[in-house]
Structure formats: structure tokens, C-alpha cells
Amino acid sequence: MFEGKEAKYIEMVEEIGDNHISTSAKTPLRDDAFILSDEEKIRSIKKNVAEILYTLGMDLTDDSLKGTPLRVAKMYVKEIFDGLHPQARPKLSTFDNNYKYGEMLVEKNITVYSTCEHHLLPIVGKAHVAYISNGNVIGLSKMNRIVNYFAKRPQVQERLTMQIVQALQEALGTDDVACVIDAKHLCVNSRGIKDISSSTVTAEYGGKFKEDSLKREFLDYIKLDTEFE
């Protein structure tokens, strides 16, 4: 199936195997990641998914299965991995903090739907994001959108947490940004150890949020009961 350069690339990946190496806060994309159009990627992925199902012994002529390769390909490119494409990045317009609000602003319980890059299984949880204005403020929905953007790609939770903070720091022009994510990984819950009760918590604190008192205040906000009937 793979020839030449692609075969060598796959061989290198297989050598890494289960060694879950994370090299930086940047998503590991190749330089030629966007040479193919979305339509070309969908056609290629469709073929590969069909081969996987066929290898597993599935009858792709069955009415229930014959549309699966195309559905999966479209889902990968247009939906769950849409955050790989730079054009999908939300515009993070900011505004002057004319009302001089100087305390932290917290957007909590932002839904996280992502995909573990080690097994391509779902990560589902909540993100809590906070910042202290340095003269600029950002629309509340933009915080949700930046979480969603970075979540919609193959991810590790540590990198996702850092990317959210770094994107908001850049947009707001301040280091005073924090993010905590609490999520379930189906690669832990549904396979391997099969521990359905455990979840993973990651945090990234920038600027003033590294101070113990401010960090504690942020975590106390997260614990507030804000459910509404």
C-alpha cells in the first residue's frame, strides 16, 4: 500500500510504537500537511478505512457498512479533525477594557470533545479558562471557540491545555491566563486497564496565576455550583 518515502515514514512511526513521545506544545504536523485538498484527503481516507474494515473481515456490500468508509472520511476531515486546518482557527478579536474590570474572568465548564492521538479514541470532559485583563477583553464565546478549535485534532491533553493558554495569551497581550481540563480518555476507560471511573486533570498557569493565592481563587471558582434549572 505504501511505497518509497511513505513506506519509510510508516516504518519510522512503527519503531516509535507505544513510546508516547511529546516533543512540544505544537501539534506535530508535516510541512506538506495541506498540499492535498479536503476532497483529496476524503478520497484517500475512504480507501484506507475500507481496507481496514475489509481486513477485519467485514462485508462492505452490506447496506449497513457500504457507506461507512465515506462517512468516516468526511467525519475525520470536516468534523473531528477540522481543527488541524489553520483556516478553521477562530478570529480572537479583543476590545478595550473600558469598564476597568481588574479581577479574573472565568469561563468554566466548557465542553471538550477531542481525540487521543495514541489510539484515536475520544477524550470527553470540561475545560475551565481564566484571564486577568491587561487592558483588553475578549468575547466570552471566543474562549469556547478556541477550546473547540484545538480540541478538534488528534491530541494529548497536556498539549491541548498549553495551546489554549498560549492562544489566549497572544490574543489578549498578557501572560495572566490559566486553564484546567478534567476529561475522560476512552483509551483508558474502554481498552487496556478499562478503568471507567478515572479521569485526567491537567493545568497550565501563566503570569499571576502561578501565585498560590490566585491559583487557589481560580480553583475555588471552578468548584462553585453554577447549575441552573
Q: Which residues are catalytic?
A: 116-119, 157, 185, 187
Q: Which three cell numbers stand for residue 172?
A: 489578549
Q: Given its phi and psi angles, is residue 135 left (phi above 0), alpha (psi -120 to 50 degrees) or beta?
A: left
Determine the Cα–Cα distance for residues 55 and 58; give it in Å rounded to an integer.
7
The DSSP bridge partners found for residue 95 are 137
C-beta separation of 108 from 95 below 8 A: no
Q: For residue 39, count other CB atoms closer than 10 A to its CB.
A: 9
**Of 174, 181, 173, 178, the residue nearest 211 (C-alpha):** 178
Q: If you search the block for the grid coordinates 466548557, which residue do you land on?
A: 110
Q: What is the phi-psi region of residue 64: left when phi exceeds 0, alpha when psi lies from -120 to 50, beta otherwise?
A: alpha
Residues in the chain: 229
3-state secondary structure of 213: helix
* Residues forming beta bridges with residue 2, ordered by sequence position: none
